[in-house]
Structure 1
Amino acid sequence: MDDLDRRIVGALMANPRASNAQVSDVVYTSEATVSRRVSRLLREGTVRVIGVLDGEATRRTRSLFVRLRCRPGEAHRSAARLAAWPECGSVKLLTGSVDCIAEISYTSNEHLLAITLEQLPSLDGVFAVWSNQVIRRFATPHSWLPDLLAADLVEQLRGQRLDPWHDPLPDRPATTDPLDERIADLLSHDGRLGWQRLGELCDANPVTVRRRTEAMMTAGALRMRTVVEPESIGLPVNAFVSLNVNPTQLGHAGDLLAQHPSVLMIAATTGDRNLCGEIALPSDAALYTFISDTIGSLPGLQHADVAVALQSVKRAGLTPATPPELRR
């Protein structure tokens, strides 16, 4: 990517469904140039815009982080098998105290029991499993935006959104019907579908489809997200942090981390770690500074484990695109 590409990506991260005209206003180029560049980024798979039917907002699913230790030489195969699970949203291979980490959605305690006590231990090559249930999110990938655009331009784009990119979950579950779910499914594959095309695919009036989509966004049921691998925007050091913080300081620590532009997501969890998240940085030196200054100064910090990601096997339910020069 060149500088203009990165600014366009920043605009799409701030507002995934921003029109080409809205993007051109903040990146200071023509609408035609934006159209051409966005099409290329999407076509090559460098950037993907998706709609996510929020399982927590609709009270359908909850999330679990799992950390796996694998036998020598088995980590890649175990991660690939885990990535094939439909309930698995992300998988990374790591270097550090564990070999693999994944985020998994579950629908009930029975489902969680099957995942943790049957499915995970039965994965070939896995000999140790740790699990941490997500109980509160301080920052999510929907709100992540590294320093690609000026703050006033980010505020301008975010002000045009209807979906709650950073708001807490609604007090009452957001409800959906079959048409809503059809719309969400289509947007999960292409979050920039126009209203006319979306209506055709749903066999419904485009006005109805737009009204339903915007109602789901306003209710918090549907969240839009621009998915990009951090290294493609100049952040090659991707890592997972697992922290123990004094419970009396947990909320304060989570809020502080959520404000940092290097934090993709951070959540309070149960289990042996009570604050877990993902970070992306431009260099090892920046990682050192983040560990020593940002993590080191957290109130109530008791233990910190930082594992650097070697490969993103799956992100946001998607397998990262293969670069064009490697395609066969």
Structure 2
Amino acid sequence: MGPTLDELDRRLVGALHLAPRVTWDDLAAILAADASTLKRRFDRLSEAGVCRVIGQIGWGMHSTAMPVHLFVDISGKTPLAVLDRLGALPHLQYLAQVSGDYPVYATVHAPSEQATSEVLDRVYALPGVQRVITLPSLRTLRRGAGWDPRLLTDRERRNLLAIAGPATEDVAAAVPPDKALSEAERTVMSMLQQDGRASAAGIARTAGLATSTAHRLVRRMLDEGWVKPRFEVVSEWLGFLTTFVLRFRVPPGRTTSVMRSLAELPQTRLIAHVAGDTSVLCMGLLPDRTALATFIDGDLARIDGIDTMGIDVVLTERRRYWVDRDSVAGIGRFHAPPLLRA
């Protein structure tokens, strides 16, 4: 059982999902609340492990490879024991126990294809791992940074997006920057990774940079999408108790239309085109399993182009986007992927 969030807490969380770097003054005007009150509430929620703002860096900044999704069958060990062993390996972005024939689901995003191969080799060698299905990502259309929990009124949402700008399509690819990052750029990017709300003045003081330099670099990284502020929260404490994983088989030529139809549904957080015996992998959040049944028989049933579908329910989520989490203890360590060297 997590902390009790009142209506203002929930609206604050909903707003920061859409605009993680919005100023307290702008947010106060939208939510009709005092700016200092909102900051105190955010600090309280952060200290309680409810939420954290981090920086999602472009894939090409930390890897030359694409992620690989793993479904792991086990034998002789419990799923939680295998999760613990997986969590000790490098480059594990996501970890969960799920329902179904493969009780462990994980995502590996290593710095290179060679490093990916080495991690997968270690996964296969773990005690308890019997069989692994690997689904390499080919393309993504949505990631968790763009998820909207719909906790604002329509008017509040319009006013917030008028300030923050409309959400952009979160397509990701392992494309490196045009030129190697300078040491100052690496420093600023690393600091924005750890704190997506870090100010240029605060970064300048900590990194020993001129304020004008820090301001220019922060602005450039945000404007050019090198770093995307990302709001992380214990979703169970917001009332989203059911995380689901869907695996679709889609005929060639229909993949893009199916993915775009899924992206229009507010329940989805991740949509990826993958290789293997699955065409499209989709993750999302709902209040409960009854809502999941309604979602499957209603929203998904109206999407043309789906041949077959597999459904798993997440039973225990240990890590999401590099951030350890627990439905009781809250947000934990952020295993930020290190930046590549030229």
Q: CA RMSD in A?
A: 2.5
Structure 2 counterpart of 1:9: 13
Alpha-carbon distance in structure 2 between the residues aligned to 1:198 and 1:146: 30
Structure 1 counterpart of 2:202: 197
Deviation, structure 1 residue 322: 7.2
Q: Which moved more, 1:210-219 or 1:172-181?
A: 172-181
Structure 2 counterpart of 1:105: 109
Aligned AA (2:218): T
Aligned AA (1:245): V
> SS in structure 1 opposite 2:21?
coil
Deviation, structure 1 residue 189: 2.0
Alpha-carbon distance in structure 2 between the residues aligned to 1:171 and 1:81: 27
- Partner of residue 30 from structure 1, selected from 28, 34, 40: 34
TM-score (norm 2): 0.87
Deviations 1:199-225 (A, max 9, x none): 122111122112112212222211110
Q: Does the CA contact (< 8 Å) of 1:242 and 1:306 recur in 2?
A: yes
Structure 2 counterpart of 1:79: 83
Q: Does the CA contact (< 8 Å) of 2:97 and 2:316 recur in 1?
A: yes
Q: Does the CA contact (< 8 Å) of 1:58 and 1:221 recur in 2?
A: no
* Contiguous gaps of at least 5 residues in structure 2: 333-342
Deviation, structure 1 residue 173: 4.1
> SS in structure 1 opposite 2:41?
helix
* Contiguous gaps of at least 5 residues in structure 1: none
Q: Does the CA contact (< 8 Å) of 1:164 and 1:217 recur in 2?
A: no
Structure 1 counterpart of 2:139: 136
> SS in structure 2 opposite 1:91?
strand
Deviations 1:27-77 (A, max 9, x none): 221112211111111111201100122114776342111111112542112
- Partner of residue 152 from structure 2, selected from 145, 149, 168: 149
Change (3 A) 1:249 1:54: same
Deviation, structure 1 residue 169: 5.1
Structure 1 residues 1-328: aligned runs within 5 Å:
1-56=5-60, 60-71=64-75, 73-116=77-120, 118-161=121-164, 165-168=168-171, 173-175=176-178, 176-320=181-325, 323=328
Change (3 A) 1:163 1:63: farther
Q: Does the CA contact (< 8 Å) of 2:52 and 2:233 recur in 1?
A: yes
Deviation, structure 1 residue 162: 7.9
Paired residues, number: 325
Alpha-carbon distance in structure 2 between the residues aligned to 1:26 and 1:161: 12
TM-score (norm 1): 0.91
Deviation, structure 1 residue 280: 0.5
Change (3 A) 1:134 1:194: same
Alpha-carbon distance in structure 1 between the residues aligned to 2:186 and 2:167: 18
Q: Does the CA contact (< 8 Å) of 2:139 and 2:173 recur in 1?
A: no
Alpha-carbon distance in structure 2 between the residues aligned to 1:298 and 1:271: 22
Change (3 A) 1:213 1:108: same
